[in-house]
Structure 1
Amino acid sequence: MFVKEMSREECQSVVAAADLARLACCKEGQPYIVPINYALLGNCLYCFSMPGQKIDWMRSNPKVALQIGEFASNRQWKSVVVRGRYRELAQTEGRCDERIHAWSLLEKRPNWWEPGGLTPVPREISGASAHVFFCVEIDEMTGRAACPGEL
Protein backbone atom coordinates (compact mmCIF):
# COMPACT_ATOMS: atom_id res chain seq x y z
CA MET A 1 0.00 0.00 0.00
CA PHE A 2 1.10 3.56 -0.62
CA VAL A 3 -0.48 6.94 0.14
CA LYS A 4 -0.52 9.74 -2.42
CA GLU A 5 -1.61 13.37 -2.45
CA MET A 6 -4.76 13.94 -4.46
CA SER A 7 -5.18 16.72 -7.02
CA ARG A 8 -7.88 19.37 -6.61
CA GLU A 9 -9.90 17.60 -9.32
CA GLU A 10 -9.63 14.25 -7.51
CA CYS A 11 -10.69 15.90 -4.24
CA GLN A 12 -13.62 17.58 -6.00
CA SER A 13 -14.72 14.20 -7.38
CA VAL A 14 -14.76 12.61 -3.90
CA VAL A 15 -16.71 15.53 -2.43
CA ALA A 16 -19.21 15.54 -5.32
CA ALA A 17 -19.85 11.79 -5.02
CA ALA A 18 -20.54 11.80 -1.28
CA ASP A 19 -23.16 13.50 0.86
CA LEU A 20 -21.96 12.87 4.42
CA ALA A 21 -19.12 14.77 6.07
CA ARG A 22 -17.70 15.32 9.50
CA LEU A 23 -17.99 19.03 10.30
CA ALA A 24 -15.44 20.52 12.68
CA CYS A 25 -15.80 23.90 14.32
CA CYS A 26 -14.02 25.60 17.21
CA LYS A 27 -14.94 28.04 19.96
CA GLU A 28 -12.54 29.49 22.51
CA GLY A 29 -9.91 26.88 21.63
CA GLN A 30 -12.30 23.94 22.09
CA PRO A 31 -12.95 21.75 19.01
CA TYR A 32 -16.30 20.13 18.18
CA ILE A 33 -17.02 17.66 15.39
CA VAL A 34 -20.33 16.21 14.14
CA PRO A 35 -21.62 14.32 11.10
CA ILE A 36 -23.65 16.36 8.62
CA ASN A 37 -25.20 15.87 5.20
CA TYR A 38 -24.41 18.32 2.42
CA ALA A 39 -24.92 19.10 -1.26
CA LEU A 40 -22.07 20.51 -3.35
CA LEU A 41 -22.62 23.21 -5.93
CA GLY A 42 -19.77 25.27 -7.30
CA ASN A 43 -17.57 26.41 -4.44
CA CYS A 44 -20.17 25.83 -1.69
CA LEU A 45 -21.30 22.94 0.45
CA TYR A 46 -24.97 23.50 1.35
CA CYS A 47 -26.14 22.12 4.70
CA PHE A 48 -29.12 22.02 7.03
CA SER A 49 -29.37 21.90 10.81
CA MET A 50 -31.58 22.63 13.74
CA PRO A 51 -30.27 25.30 16.15
CA GLY A 52 -27.78 23.98 18.65
CA GLN A 53 -24.14 23.88 19.64
CA LYS A 54 -22.62 23.67 16.15
CA ILE A 55 -24.71 26.59 14.88
CA ASP A 56 -23.86 28.69 17.95
CA TRP A 57 -20.17 27.90 17.58
CA MET A 58 -20.07 28.60 13.83
CA ARG A 59 -21.86 31.91 14.36
CA SER A 60 -19.12 32.93 16.79
CA ASN A 61 -16.24 31.53 14.68
CA PRO A 62 -17.11 30.97 10.99
CA LYS A 63 -13.88 29.10 10.17
CA VAL A 64 -14.74 25.42 9.75
CA ALA A 65 -13.35 22.21 8.30
CA LEU A 66 -15.07 19.15 6.88
CA GLN A 67 -13.67 15.68 6.32
CA ILE A 68 -15.18 13.57 3.57
CA GLY A 69 -14.03 10.07 2.75
CA GLU A 70 -14.42 6.99 0.60
CA PHE A 71 -13.56 3.67 2.19
CA ALA A 72 -13.10 0.48 0.18
CA SER A 73 -10.78 -1.32 2.63
CA ASN A 74 -8.03 -0.67 5.17
CA ARG A 75 -5.60 -0.49 2.27
CA GLN A 76 -7.76 1.46 -0.18
CA TRP A 77 -9.41 4.73 0.85
CA LYS A 78 -9.63 8.43 0.06
CA SER A 79 -9.90 11.30 2.51
CA VAL A 80 -10.54 14.96 1.67
CA VAL A 81 -10.33 17.90 4.07
CA VAL A 82 -12.23 21.04 3.13
CA ARG A 83 -11.45 24.30 4.91
CA GLY A 84 -13.88 27.13 4.56
CA ARG A 85 -16.21 29.70 6.07
CA TYR A 86 -19.69 29.24 7.53
CA ARG A 87 -22.35 31.49 6.05
CA GLU A 88 -25.93 31.30 7.23
CA LEU A 89 -28.56 31.58 4.51
CA ALA A 90 -30.90 34.42 5.40
CA GLN A 91 -34.52 33.78 6.22
CA THR A 92 -35.52 37.41 5.82
CA GLU A 93 -38.14 38.49 3.34
CA GLY A 94 -36.70 39.05 -0.10
CA ARG A 95 -33.60 36.93 0.70
CA CYS A 96 -35.11 33.42 0.72
CA ASP A 97 -33.95 32.41 -2.79
CA GLU A 98 -30.65 30.92 -1.61
CA ARG A 99 -32.39 28.98 1.21
CA ILE A 100 -34.89 27.55 -1.26
CA HIS A 101 -32.05 26.71 -3.64
CA ALA A 102 -30.15 24.92 -0.83
CA TRP A 103 -33.30 22.98 0.07
CA SER A 104 -33.82 21.96 -3.56
CA LEU A 105 -30.25 20.64 -3.76
CA LEU A 106 -30.43 18.79 -0.44
CA GLU A 107 -33.84 17.21 -0.98
CA LYS A 108 -32.48 15.22 -3.96
CA ARG A 109 -30.68 12.97 -1.43
CA PRO A 110 -32.52 10.40 0.68
CA ASN A 111 -32.86 11.36 4.36
CA TRP A 112 -31.16 14.70 3.65
CA TRP A 113 -32.33 16.21 6.95
CA GLU A 114 -30.43 13.62 9.00
CA PRO A 115 -28.36 13.96 11.13
CA GLY A 116 -28.71 17.77 11.23
CA GLY A 117 -32.46 17.64 11.85
CA LEU A 118 -32.31 15.20 14.72
CA THR A 119 -31.93 16.43 18.29
CA PRO A 120 -31.35 14.45 21.49
CA VAL A 121 -34.24 16.22 23.21
CA PRO A 122 -37.71 16.82 21.78
CA ARG A 123 -38.30 20.45 20.82
CA GLU A 124 -41.51 22.37 21.12
CA ILE A 125 -43.21 23.01 17.79
CA SER A 126 -43.46 26.71 17.09
CA GLY A 127 -44.95 28.84 14.34
CA ALA A 128 -41.54 30.06 13.23
CA SER A 129 -39.19 27.69 11.45
CA ALA A 130 -36.17 26.81 13.54
CA HIS A 131 -34.46 25.26 10.53
CA VAL A 132 -31.04 26.67 9.71
CA PHE A 133 -29.75 26.42 6.17
CA PHE A 134 -26.13 27.38 5.68
CA CYS A 135 -23.26 26.95 3.31
CA VAL A 136 -19.57 26.44 3.74
CA GLU A 137 -17.74 28.57 1.21
CA ILE A 138 -14.68 26.51 0.27
CA ASP A 139 -11.29 28.17 0.75
CA GLU A 140 -9.08 25.09 0.41
CA MET A 141 -9.47 21.42 -0.43
CA THR A 142 -6.76 18.79 0.07
CA GLY A 143 -6.78 15.02 0.07
CA ARG A 144 -4.90 11.78 0.27
CA ALA A 145 -5.60 8.36 -1.15
CA ALA A 146 -4.30 4.95 -0.08
CA CYS A 147 -3.82 2.52 -2.92
CA PRO A 148 -2.82 -1.15 -2.97
CA GLY A 149 0.60 -2.01 -4.36
CA GLU A 150 4.06 -0.53 -4.15
CA LEU A 151 5.37 2.89 -5.18
Structure 2
Amino acid sequence: MSREEIDQLIEEEFLCRIAFCGKNTPYIAPFQYVLINGQLYFHFTKYGKKIGFLEEGKSVCVEIEKYTQDLKAYSFVTLTGELKAVKRTEERVLAIEKIVETARRKGLSENFLAAHGFSREKGWAQLTPDKPIIIVKLVNVKDRIGLKSP
Protein backbone atom coordinates (compact mmCIF):
# COMPACT_ATOMS: atom_id res chain seq x y z
CA MET A 1 0.00 0.00 0.00
CA SER A 2 1.14 3.54 -0.64
CA ARG A 3 1.62 6.00 2.21
CA GLU A 4 -1.57 7.77 1.10
CA GLU A 5 -3.56 4.51 1.16
CA ILE A 6 -2.24 3.69 4.63
CA ASP A 7 -3.17 7.17 5.87
CA GLN A 8 -6.64 6.87 4.32
CA LEU A 9 -7.32 3.52 6.01
CA ILE A 10 -6.22 4.88 9.39
CA GLU A 11 -8.45 7.96 8.93
CA GLU A 12 -11.52 5.94 7.89
CA GLU A 13 -11.47 3.26 10.57
CA PHE A 14 -11.89 3.55 14.34
CA LEU A 15 -11.17 0.08 15.74
CA CYS A 16 -7.79 -1.59 16.04
CA ARG A 17 -5.92 -4.27 17.90
CA ILE A 18 -2.83 -3.62 19.94
CA ALA A 19 -0.31 -6.41 20.47
CA PHE A 20 1.78 -6.09 23.62
CA CYS A 21 4.99 -7.93 24.52
CA GLY A 22 4.07 -10.05 27.53
CA LYS A 23 6.58 -11.83 29.75
CA ASN A 24 5.97 -15.30 28.35
CA THR A 25 3.37 -14.75 25.65
CA PRO A 26 2.12 -11.90 23.48
CA TYR A 27 -1.12 -10.19 24.54
CA ILE A 28 -3.54 -8.61 22.08
CA ALA A 29 -6.62 -6.49 22.78
CA PRO A 30 -9.10 -4.44 20.71
CA PHE A 31 -9.30 -0.65 21.12
CA GLN A 32 -11.26 2.24 19.70
CA TYR A 33 -8.83 4.85 18.43
CA VAL A 34 -8.95 8.39 17.13
CA LEU A 35 -6.56 10.18 14.84
CA ILE A 36 -5.61 13.75 15.75
CA ASN A 37 -2.97 15.61 13.73
CA GLY A 38 -1.51 12.34 12.48
CA GLN A 39 -1.27 10.84 15.99
CA LEU A 40 -3.23 7.79 17.21
CA TYR A 41 -4.92 8.09 20.62
CA PHE A 42 -6.55 5.33 22.70
CA HIS A 43 -8.58 5.10 25.91
CA PHE A 44 -7.25 2.60 28.46
CA THR A 45 -9.40 1.26 31.26
CA LYS A 46 -7.80 0.82 34.67
CA TYR A 47 -8.40 -2.94 34.70
CA GLY A 48 -6.72 -5.70 32.71
CA LYS A 49 -3.14 -6.36 31.68
CA LYS A 50 -2.65 -3.33 29.46
CA ILE A 51 -1.84 -0.86 32.25
CA GLY A 52 1.07 -3.06 33.37
CA PHE A 53 2.31 -3.25 29.79
CA LEU A 54 2.00 0.53 29.46
CA GLU A 55 4.11 1.01 32.58
CA GLU A 56 6.78 -1.38 31.24
CA GLY A 57 7.15 0.84 28.17
CA LYS A 58 7.83 -1.95 25.69
CA SER A 59 7.16 -1.73 21.97
CA VAL A 60 3.68 -2.48 20.67
CA CYS A 61 2.16 -3.30 17.31
CA VAL A 62 -1.11 -1.63 16.29
CA GLU A 63 -3.15 -3.40 13.61
CA ILE A 64 -5.99 -1.76 11.67
CA GLU A 65 -8.02 -3.56 9.04
CA LYS A 66 -10.86 -3.19 6.60
CA TYR A 67 -12.34 -6.00 4.55
CA THR A 68 -15.44 -7.30 2.84
CA GLN A 69 -17.16 -10.34 4.32
CA ASP A 70 -15.90 -12.62 1.53
CA LEU A 71 -12.38 -11.05 1.62
CA LYS A 72 -12.61 -10.06 -2.04
CA ALA A 73 -11.37 -6.65 -0.93
CA TYR A 74 -9.15 -6.17 2.11
CA SER A 75 -6.50 -3.90 3.52
CA PHE A 76 -4.40 -4.30 6.66
CA VAL A 77 -2.01 -1.85 8.28
CA THR A 78 0.43 -2.44 11.12
CA LEU A 79 2.32 0.25 12.99
CA THR A 80 5.03 -0.51 15.53
CA GLY A 81 5.97 1.99 18.19
CA GLU A 82 5.52 2.76 21.86
CA LEU A 83 2.57 3.89 23.94
CA LYS A 84 2.84 6.96 26.13
CA ALA A 85 0.30 8.24 28.64
CA VAL A 86 -1.04 11.69 27.74
CA LYS A 87 -0.40 14.16 30.56
CA ARG A 88 -1.18 17.52 28.90
CA THR A 89 -4.74 18.51 29.82
CA GLU A 90 -5.58 20.11 26.45
CA GLU A 91 -4.35 17.08 24.51
CA ARG A 92 -6.25 14.68 26.80
CA VAL A 93 -9.49 16.71 26.52
CA LEU A 94 -9.22 16.81 22.73
CA ALA A 95 -8.74 13.03 22.53
CA ILE A 96 -11.69 12.28 24.84
CA GLU A 97 -13.96 14.64 22.91
CA LYS A 98 -12.92 13.07 19.61
CA ILE A 99 -13.54 9.53 20.94
CA VAL A 100 -17.11 10.53 21.87
CA GLU A 101 -17.65 12.46 18.62
CA THR A 102 -16.41 9.49 16.55
CA ALA A 103 -18.67 7.06 18.44
CA ARG A 104 -21.69 9.27 17.79
CA ARG A 105 -20.81 9.98 14.14
CA LYS A 106 -20.25 6.29 13.39
CA GLY A 107 -23.43 5.34 15.27
CA LEU A 108 -21.65 3.01 17.67
CA SER A 109 -23.93 1.11 20.01
CA GLU A 110 -23.97 2.16 23.63
CA ASN A 111 -23.26 -1.51 24.38
CA PHE A 112 -19.69 -0.72 23.27
CA LEU A 113 -19.32 1.53 26.32
CA ALA A 114 -18.60 -1.63 28.34
CA ALA A 115 -15.30 -1.89 26.43
CA HIS A 116 -14.50 1.56 27.83
CA GLY A 117 -15.45 0.49 31.35
CA PHE A 118 -18.70 2.46 31.39
CA SER A 119 -22.38 1.59 31.69
CA ARG A 120 -24.46 1.69 28.52
CA GLU A 121 -27.42 3.26 30.37
CA LYS A 122 -25.74 6.66 30.74
CA GLY A 123 -24.69 6.89 27.09
CA TRP A 124 -21.60 8.34 25.43
CA ALA A 125 -21.98 11.62 27.33
CA GLN A 126 -20.41 9.99 30.41
CA LEU A 127 -16.99 9.98 28.75
CA THR A 128 -15.96 13.44 29.89
CA PRO A 129 -12.56 15.01 30.61
CA ASP A 130 -13.44 15.59 34.27
CA LYS A 131 -13.39 11.81 34.86
CA PRO A 132 -10.09 9.98 35.48
CA ILE A 133 -9.97 8.61 31.93
CA ILE A 134 -6.57 7.29 30.85
CA ILE A 135 -5.58 8.42 27.36
CA VAL A 136 -2.47 7.09 25.65
CA LYS A 137 -0.91 7.80 22.28
CA LEU A 138 1.30 5.90 19.87
CA VAL A 139 4.75 7.49 19.67
CA ASN A 140 8.11 6.67 18.08
CA VAL A 141 6.49 4.81 15.19
CA LYS A 142 9.21 2.72 13.60
CA ASP A 143 7.30 0.79 10.94
CA ARG A 144 4.15 1.40 8.91
CA ILE A 145 3.31 -1.59 6.78
CA GLY A 146 0.23 -1.97 4.60
CA LEU A 147 -1.15 -4.87 2.61
CA LYS A 148 -4.21 -4.80 0.36
CA SER A 149 -6.06 -7.00 -2.07
CA PRO A 150 -4.94 -6.90 -5.72
Alignment TM-score, normalising by the size of structure 1 = 0.75
2:51 counterpart of 1:55: yes
Look at both structures and tell me which one has the larger radius of gyration over its CA atoms.
1
1:1-151 matches, within 5 Å, as 6-51=1-46, 52-72=48-68, 73-90=70-87, 95-110=88-103, 111=108, 114=113, 116-118=115-117, 129-137=131-139, 138-147=141-150
Deviations 1:41-68 (CA, angstroms, capped at 9, x unpaired): 2331111021131121122033111111
CA pair 116-59 structure 1, distance change in 2 beyond 3 A: farther
Structure with more relative contact order (C-alpha pairs < 8 Å, separation 6 or more): 1
Structure 2 spans left out of the alignment, 5+ residues: 119-129
1:80: Cα distance to partner? 0.5
Unaligned segments of structure 1, at least 5 residues: 1-5, 120-127
TM-score normalised to the size of structure 2?
Answer: 0.76
Question: What is the root-mean-square deviation in Å for CA atoms of aligned residues?
Answer: 2.3
Task: State the distance in 1 between where 2:114 and 2:55 align.
Answer: 19
Does the aligned pair in 1 maintain the 2:36–2:95 contact within 8 Å? no
Instruction: Give the total of aligned pairs.
Output: 130
Give the letter for the 1:109 counterpart. Answer: T
- Sequence identity (%): 22
Query: Relative to total residues, which structure has the larger strand share, 1 or 2?
Result: 1
